[in-house]
Chain A
């Protein structure tokens, strides 16, 4: 870890710092997410604490690469969650729940790896997650967290679809979101049988009960909801 107060910095690092500052400035100019802006402004004030190798990930929504990286970020979060769950399944889980959490784990790993491979050199780095708020020994807590991640994932894809300009990318997003919706429905039924598509509980995620419509949220709102689970700072530009 280097910090800005260190007297000697090489040229490469200096240019990285300049870029980073620029990203922050453009983020502040464009982002609408109040909470994120506040957090970032606070971080910006602590100049002596800025870590150079860990400047966070930047999602630039100017084109499909940004949208796909956004999906990649969310799939990283989901995969990390299910890997953690699968490493020590709650003792209350039934055989079916054990098997399906295993399935879902590999679905999310596959989604994550797909984006990593498809984005190649354009992919953001690996995100550091923070699941300290989740009690992984409790079946109820794990199911509740899984429901949040799946419902949020569905709302994220539904809300981001309109930003995608390439048909092939849009189709891929559609192919993934329906699987996330299947996960969400199943997890919901584990918690509360029959709640698979309880739209009134999905209103905070943008669902419309009268229209029979699932959740849909813009990326800034999704990232604000995901923020407590992601340590890595995510910068958003051109949203």
Chain B
């Protein structure tokens, strides 16, 4: 009997199960503790009582808000890659680079579907391609005008989206603390980090010198693209939880290592401001 599988199965029919369970953190914790002491035969009874308690609660709006926020970012990413693959004149340098973008698009689509399910949304996507201006013209003018015709520009914007995504999920972790949905959010978060690392390497292969991790730059932005400064603000930090990482405990850890080895969070307001640059209407509030 696997409790996680059961929750997964319930999630398929009731996407809000984790939200319903979350206010009953204590009940859930109690359940897991009880589970260690009671026999397997007694488990279904204990489970039933936990769910009864869970469904008696109202949804915590903060968790719903985080999931909706995450969904909007996933819509942005999915539509960006989908546009590049289906409606662009981008010349991919080789089959592998196109395949990599297809892989990433697939993950973003999976995240959209997962989050829609978790939010119990069964209808059409709330955001489609036409809702986005991926050149960000209203803010950036013509800087990214060739985003769907120039491979390098396409990669630059992709890197900004992925690095933003990594920071955005991290920034919401506190709201999801000790909630079962946190694990799922973390599992999405690290996939976004893998994407970021790979797209940065695609850029490196295309002559844009970037590391898979965010290297030190005085303003945090190691891409050298001034338009995306806001995406990287604070990434230069070498101080974590009040501890200076450079040369920590007498080691040879440099300022660059120190900045690279911890990614920084980005608060929801900043992420929304960044995302809204690329959203025509239905801007994130």
Contacts and interface: CB of A to CB of B under 8 A. Distances in A.
Given A162-B178, A196-B198, A181 B193 contact: yes
B240 A179 contact: no
B60 to A, nearest CB: 16
Contact of A197 (B191, B249, B261, B263): B191
Contacts of B182: 161-162
Interface in A29-53: 30
Interface residues of B, number: 60
B170 A103 contact: no
Contacts of A158: 183, 186-187, 190
Given A107-B260, A186-B201, 6 more contacts: A170-B174, A174-B186, A174-B263, A175-B240, A212-B188, A215-B187
A181 B191 CA distance: 7
B251 interface: yes
Closest 4 CB pairs of A and B: A212-B110, A181-B193, A107-B261, A185-B197
A214 B187 contact: yes
A121 to B, nearest CB: 15
Interface in B177-206: 177-180, 182-184, 186-198, 201
A14 to B, nearest CB: 31
B257 interface: yes
A164 B186 CA distance: 13
Chain B interface, DSSP helix/strand/loop, else mixed: helix
Interface string B219-234: 0000000000000000
Contact of B190 (A116, A118, A165, A178): A178
- Residue in A103, A174, A193 whose Cβ sees the most chain B Cβ within 10 Å: A174
B248 interface: yes
B251 to A, nearest CB: 6
A22 interface: no
Specify the main secondary structure of chain A where it touches its partner: helix
Give the one of A100, A165, A184, A197 with max B CB within 10 A: A197
A197 B103 contact: yes
A213 B184 contact: yes
Nearest to B200: A182
B187 A175 contact: no
Contact of A179 (B184, B195, B213, B251): B213
A154 B190 CA distance: 7
Given A164-B177, A214-B194, A185 B212 contact: yes
A108 B251 CA distance: 12
B96 A193 contact: yes
18 contacts: A103-B260, A107-B257, A113-B249, A114-B241, A157-B186, A170-B174, A171-B265, A174-B186, A174-B263, A175-B240, A178-B166, A179-B262, A182-B196, A182-B212, A185-B212, A197-B191, A210-B110, A212-B188
Interface string A214-239: 11100000000000000000000000
A174 B173 contact: yes
Interface in A65-119: 100, 103, 106-111, 113-114, 116-118
Contacts of A174: 169-170, 173, 186, 189, 263, 265
A189 B120 CA distance: 36
Contacts of B249: 113, 116-117
A203 to B, nearest CB: 12
